[in-house]
Amino acid sequence: MANDASTVFDLVILGGGSGGYAAALRASQLGLDVALIEKNKLGGTCLHNGCIPTKALLHAGEIADQAREAGQFGVKASFEGIDIAGVHKYKDDVIAGLYKGLQGLVASRKVTYIEGEGRLSSPTSVDVNGRRVQGRHVLLATGSVPKSLPGLHIDGNRILSSDHALVLDRVPESAIILGGGVIGVEFASAWKSFGSEVTVIEGLKHLVPVEDENSSKLLERAFRKRGIKFNLGTFFDKAEYTENGVRVTLADGKTFEAEVLLVAIGRGPVSQGLGYEEQGVAMDRGYVLVDEYMQTNVETISAVGDLVPTLQLAHVGFAEGILVAERLAGLKTVPIDYDGVPRVTYCHPEVASVGITEAKAKELYGADKVIAAKFNLAGNGKSKILKTAGEIKLVQVKDGAVVGIHMVGDRMGEQVGEAQLIYNWEALPAEVAQLIHAHPTQNEALGEAHLALAGKPLHNHD
């Protein structure tokens, strides 16, 4: 293994996804000499196989729905169908533009970018392309891949992962989606908008089961109205080919048939065969274990992103990468409050939240110390104009701060910015209530919810 001993980087990063490239950009900005190693494309899952392409598909679906429903707004329009090649071109053009910009950004920061498959070879080095890249510190950021289940063969044709679904050359006439979490309900929403008949299978008792139960029930109601079917509370047993598609059998013997099966049960870490365990890095079920500063048990190694058992969100990867870069540069750093991270599911309607659920608040503070208030979007003018339904629910510790904000409705993802400030700055309802929100906006629904919680409701409907 060739080793250029004259070059020792301050930081060697294995993986160029959200966490890896954010660390590279920030570390370089702080004067560190950085090498960034990536085997595929800079930007990782988020840019190429996750956040960006799925949201492009969802927006295309939104346009399709708007064309179908234009008559509701007095607009004469006709919907002639989905040009899937055109949809993919639109999606790919968005990705290409962002990819080009990111490449230019990394080059402008004078990060040494190495394309190739790297492997941790010591606590301070990564081997790639027959070369040993040395660093004073190594950051592991190798990301994740779609998970499957034992005995379930993902073939890319009838049984799909989310990677396959993003490039599928047709709109399936019917689809079963295994998993009612973020990935599952987003694809269910997009495919329904494209014209598919969709059934979601979720083993737990609600869709988006990590969200507040009220949000889950609102989404379920909206999906029923849209004609998206779902089966809750029974786990998957097996899948088999039929003459024209796939048959899924659940643990209770119930069966479902469709043209395709999308396996959307989450993503697992990419860590096998990369030398982590050989170098003594502590692991658990494939995840790299870290402390609150993203430091592993090996002093010279940190890890971020989907590789570690924190929230699998691109913006979490950004924050974790920045935290590592600033820690290595000697800046004072503060651990991430993962409850304070905004979470958005971009289905129609959107589900957005920050903070903790009502159930979690009662567990932490006691049922008698928790107050919840709801504001129905029926009382919000802009939501009426958009013809969207939903609610904003606030969870407060009695006589204290708002500890949870849970929103369902179109464009609620755009409201989560203020919501995260309310949670992270430990705002009291009365403090938010005295702020003036622009009218007519959906944003004022947040203000109205806090007015209600502060005891002076304005447009609340009993």
Categorise residue 198: left if φ over 0, alpha if ψ from -120 to 50, beta otherwise. beta
Enumerate helices (H) and strands (E) in the chain, giving the number of each: 13, 24
C-alpha span between 244 and 174 (Å, rounded): 11
CA count, 13 A, side-chain hemisphere, 8: 6
List the end-to-end C-alpha distance of the chain, in Å, as a whole number.
72
Residues 82, 64 contacting (CB under 8 angstroms): yes
C-alpha dihedral, 125 to 128 to 129 to 130, nearest 10°: 40
State yes or no: is 461 an active-site residue.
Answer: no
Which of 279, 23, 270, 313 has its CA nearest to residue 126? 279
Amino acid (1-letter code) at residue 305: G
Q: Cβ neighbours of residue 6 under 8 Å, at least 6 residues apart?
A: none
Which of 354, 448, 345, 343 has its CA nearest to residue 405? 354
C-alpha dihedral, 411 to 412 to 415 to 421, nearest 10°: -150
Residues 311, 344 contacting (CB under 8 angstroms): no
C-alpha span between 236 and 23 (Å, rounded): 39
Residues 171, 259 contacting (CB under 8 angstroms): no
Residue appearing with tokens 């786990």:
235
Going by the DSSP 8-state scheme, the letter that residue 405 receives in this structure is E
C-alpha span between 262 and 285 (Å, rounded): 24
For residue 136, the SS3 value is strand
C-alpha dihedral, 11 to 318 to 18 to 130, nearest 10°: 10
The catalytic residue among 59, 439, 450, 461 is 439
Rg (CA), the chain: 24
Please give the positions annotated as active site. 439
